[in-house]
Amino acid sequence: MNHFELFNLPAAFQLDAAELQQRYRKLQQTMHPDRFANGSERDKLLAVQRTAQLNDAYQTLRSPLSRAEYLLELRGIELAHEQTTLQDPEFLMAQMEWRERIEEVDDWESLDAAYKDLQEQMRDLQAELEGFLAEDANDDAAITVRKLKFMHKLHHELERIEEQME
């Protein structure tokens, strides 16, 4: 059973986050290992395994990036552990500029501005990704997922700076 089937949801990028959470909570209750406290060792072990699978599925589908990556995996494109490099000079130059800009963030104002611009670019890429996935343009979707991974890394960098400033 794949992650979408587990929640009885269509295998699509567009997904109602509230609906997913509701289904997750319901399944969590029915599977909770405590319910099997009086069951056999095998039942208990199974409940633990199913709960782990449920949590994994929920975490994967909850974030748009990992959901897209998982969807592409179902469509035969494995991105999770790929080691090929990205060689798009224009995109990489923009990444370098982002890194330089982040290095210079030294107050709340520049941090906020960086967050705002970054989130806007991430939203654009995500909209592009949604279109590609809906059209089954999987190779284009994979390229966009790779780009989004770089953007997420930048976001983590900003979060790290924010923690240091607090």
Partner 1 sequence: MAYSEKVIDHYENPRNVGAFDKNDPSIATGMVGAPACGDVMKLQLKINDDGIIEDAKFKTYGCGSAIASSSLVTEWVKGKSIDEASQLKNTQIAEELALPPVKIHCSILAEDAIKAAIADYKTKHAK
Q: Is 133 exposed, middle or buried (0-12, 13-18, 19+ CB in 10 A)?
A: buried
Least distance in angstroms from the C-beta of 69 to partner 1:
10
Cβ-based nearer residue to partner 1, 51 or 126: 126
Calculate Rg over the CA atoms of the chain. 20
Least distance in angstroms from the C-beta of 102 to partner 1:
9
Residue 107 amino acid letter: D
Is the Cβ–Cβ distance between 57 and 3 less than 8 Å? Answer: yes
Cβ-based nearer residue to partner 1, 9 or 77: 77
Cβ-based nearer residue to partner 1, 42 or 81: 81
Which of 156, 166, 164, 68 is CA-nearest to residue 115? 156
Binding site for partner 1 (CB under 8 A): 79, 81-83, 85-87, 89, 91-93, 95-96, 99, 145-147, 149-150, 152-154, 156
Least distance in angstroms from the C-beta of 98 to partner 1:
9
Least distance in angstroms from the C-beta of 11 to partner 1:
23
Cβ-based nearer residue to partner 1, 51 or 66: 66
The CA-atom distances, in angstroms, between 111 and each of 74, 100, 121 are 37, 13, 16
